[in-house]
Structure formats: structure tokens, C-alpha cells
Structure 1
Amino acid sequence: MQNRELTIRMEIWPAIDLRGGNCVRLRQGDYEQETVFASEPAEVARRFQQEGAKRLHVVDLDGAREGTPVNLPAVQEILEAVNLTIELGGGIRDEQSISELLDFGVDRLVVGTSAIKHTDWFQEVVRKFPGKLVLGIDARDGRVATDGWLETSDLGAVELAQRFSDEPLAAIVYTDIATDGMMRGPNVEAMAEMQRAVSVPVVASGGVTTAQDVRELADAGLAACIIGRALYEGSLTMADAIAAAGDG
């Protein structure tokens, strides 16, 4: 195990999903299957930092639906509460939003729907903000979903990723909708396939439930993984996730 920890290293990104100013989790992206875990997201962020987190993945669920950031007061409170690398996604669909949010203090931004629908525009802004933008690919049965997971396209997830593999992206966040929030383990095979297909770091999202899940993703070569419901419901601790990933 000691030798493994020296050679395997994967980043851990605990997740805070915002809806109506609260910290919530959805099952399979279904807004009707919502669990509210906290009314003070900044306190959750502070707890993650105290438990050893170095990074934080924040999603504005209202923004994803509305097409523009909505929960900025909660994001600001998080930024003021912790000293972590903050990644924000949800409703980021124009250059002005990108510029303003980076000035706001967010370290990097996840763009999904607009990257899919306006590929030339996304290529342009990625080059304008090198290392600051993350391509968010949410997939249902290997096909790309958009607009807060409300629509599914005919475009394959790997095909989309390869279109941008040579651009100066910070990463690709790849979410398997079928496993997201279900507490049944990640789709390791799909995640590994994505990482093999591109040179960009791939962040696995969806279904991470146990330390063994984290180890399997790390061993599969993923650059990072996002953990949500498991941290809130207690099937996985930050300490165990960090140890399993070699992210100490």
C-alpha cells in the first residue's frame, strides 16, 4: 500500500450544489429528487477545509436551469469563508460571465451547455482564458446532456472531449448522470475510457461512495474525482478519500 500511495495521486474535490441558497444534492440530476443538507453552504465549505480539503467544486443548480448564475451571494460567502481552490459551474454561458466570475475570485469555471452548442465560441474563450476553464461533460448512456441535464443530444461524450483535447483547458469534468447521487459507485469504465481518449486531466463525477471507489478511479488513471452525497451521508470521510487518492 505504501508504494501505491507514492505512485498514485488523484485530486479530491468535495462538492457543494447550490439551490435557493441551500446546499443540496439531487439524484440523477432530477430537480424533483432533492435533499437539502445545509442552509449555510459556507459552513459546509469551512468543514471540508478543516477536514483536509484543498479544493471545492461548486455547482449553481438554479444557474444551470436559468442559463445565468443565480446563487452568487452564497458563492461569495463560500469565497470569504475558506482558502481553497474554488471551481464553479452552472449557467456560465457567455464571456462576460466568465470574466466577471474570475474577477469575483473563483479560480476556475466549468462550461457545459455553451461549449456544446457554440463550439467555436468556447474554443475562443478557452484560448482567451488559458487554464481557467473546465469543459463540463454530463452524459446519459454515453450521450451528452445539456441545459441542467434537461436535454440529451446525439453527441457522444468522448467525441466532444476530443474536439477540445488540444485546447488549454484546466480539465474536463465528466459526469455520469446514471450514477450521480445514487450511492452505488462510479462508472469507472466510462471514466477511464474518457481519460485514455484525451490528454486533458479528467475529473470523474458521479456515484463515488466509498474509499474503494476512490482507489479504483485513481488506479484507472483519473486526474481527480468529485465527491458529493457520500460526504454528506457519511459513507465516506474526507480523510479516507484523501488517503485512498494519495492526495495528502
Structure 2
Amino acid sequence: MQVIPAIDLRGGSCVRLRQGDYGQETVFDADPVAVARRWKEEGADFLHLVDLDGAKEGRPVNTDVIRAIVSDVEIPCQLGGGLRDDDAIKAAFDLGVSRAIIGTRAVRDPEWFTSACERFPGKLVLGLDARDGMVATDGWLQASETTAVELAKHYAEAPLAAIVYTDIARDGMMSGPNVDATCRLAESSPHQVIASGGVTTIEDVLELQRRGIGACILGRTLYEGKVKLPELLNQLGAV
């Protein structure tokens, strides 16, 4: 099980939202680079970066902070938020990230995303953010008429790096992940599925591992100290 700390960026600070609501924001640290360094020092070998401003604007916004994080920690990072065309994807890779997460345009323009996967093989992550099983777009502000499972099946043959599945209703709520929905998605796709949204306790992580999920993203639970990253990694190593 790979544990991936999340660093959500808004206005240059490290924040967390509740259920993707920009009106329910908690600022955890004004120095995201220091946060990234902390997670690396505590054992993280991969980071999940989200440009929340970029998700709303439809273009990368927190570029200076992202570049500084990647340069400082020297471990792989994946980036999502506002990456909706080839230029934005190339700009993300120019910042030094290893993988780019595409959500909104993958829903709206499957033909483009399929071809983008061919242009960037093994480097694009499909971001599936769902509310009641239906995919949401535009920084979770718009609902689509596509289910997460349908979209995952559509891209089964694409050379994806992974799929990040987030249950919006669970995100930031410290209520546990939607394990069943995550597993249904994993069963419908040949790609690695990374669980996100609501992962709160060590037991949550162990349950995902028992159910065959190989990676998960942790956010608020780390920032509020409910889970200590070294303790979690030690326990996973002992399983």
C-alpha cells in the first residue's frame, strides 16, 4: 500500500476543503514547501498536489509554489487542477511533476483525452471525482451525466498511469472512504486505482489494502494529527 500525502494549494497556501466546497476552507500552513518537506522526512515517497485555484480557473495558477515543492523534495509528485489542454500538461511537466491528473476535460472530450494519453504514455492520471456515483467537473462545481465506472471502462485501453477516485461526499469529512465504490471502480478497470476522499484512520488504510487497493491519498487526517505518517507506514510494513 502506497500512502500519498495531499497538498492542496490555494492562494499560495496549503489548505483543505470540505466536500470540495471553496466556502469551507481551512488554511493549514502558509508554507506548502515546508509541508512537503515534512511529509518526505516522515517517509512519503510520493506527493499529490492539487492546484485548487487552477481547478476553478481552468489553467495552472500556483506554479511558483509547485515548482518550489518539486525542486525541494526531490520525490515524485503528481499534479491536478486546471490541466485541460496540451499546453497546460506540458507546463505541468516543465514544473517538474512526474504525472498530470486530468479530470474535467477527460469527461467532456474523451477523444482528446484518449489521444493525450497516447502523446504522454504512462504519465497521465484520470481524475474521477464523483458525487453519488456521478462524475463532477470544474473543481467539483459541475455535475455530469456520466458515472465513474462508465468513464473508467471507456479508458480501459488508454495508456494511463493510474486513476484517482475521490468520493466528494467523503472528502475532508473525516468519515472514512467509500471502500465499496472504490473497489467497484477497481474491478471495472485494468488500471491502478488510488483511493481518495475520507481516508481517516489507520484501519481505513488497512481495509483498502485488504480489499486490493494499492494506494491511497491522505489529507485532513494528517494535517489534524489523527494519523501520524511514520506510525502508519510502520504498521503497513508490519502487515
TM-score of the two chains, using structure 2 as the length reference: 0.97
How do residues 1-248 of structure 1 correspond to structure 2 at under 5 angstroms? Answer: 10-246=1-237
* Separation of aligned partners in 2, 1:28 and 1:104: 28
Higher relative contact order (CA 8 A, sep 6+): 1
* Separation of aligned partners in 2, 1:119 and 1:27: 29
Aligned pairs, number = 239
* Separation of aligned partners in 2, 1:44 and 1:186: 23
* Separation of aligned partners in 1, 2:166 and 2:88: 23
**Identity percentage over the alignment?**
55
* Separation of aligned partners in 2, 1:167 and 1:34: 35
* Separation of aligned partners in 1, 2:191 and 2:122: 11
> 1:243 offset after TM fit, Å?
3.4
Sort the Cα spacing of 1:153 and 1:35 in 2 relative to 1 into closer, same or farther, 3 A: same
* Separation of aligned partners in 1, 2:123 and 2:84: 15
Unaligned runs of 5+ in 1: 1-9
Assess if the C-alpha contact under 8 Å between 2:70 and 2:95 holds in 1.
Answer: no
* Separation of aligned partners in 2, 1:126 and 1:245: 32
Letter in 2 for 1:239: P
Cα deviation digits, residues 41-90 of structure 1 (max 9, x gap): 00000000000000000000000000000000110110121011100000
> 1:184 offset after TM fit, Å?
1.0
Letter in 2 for 1:180: D
Letter in 1 for 2:170: T
**Aligned with 1:167: secondary structure?**
coil
Unaligned runs of 5+ in 2: none
Letter in 2 for 1:211: I
* Separation of aligned partners in 2, 1:34 and 1:152: 21
Assess if the C-alpha contact under 8 Å between 1:111 and 1:134 holds in 2.
Answer: yes
Letter in 2 for 1:143: M
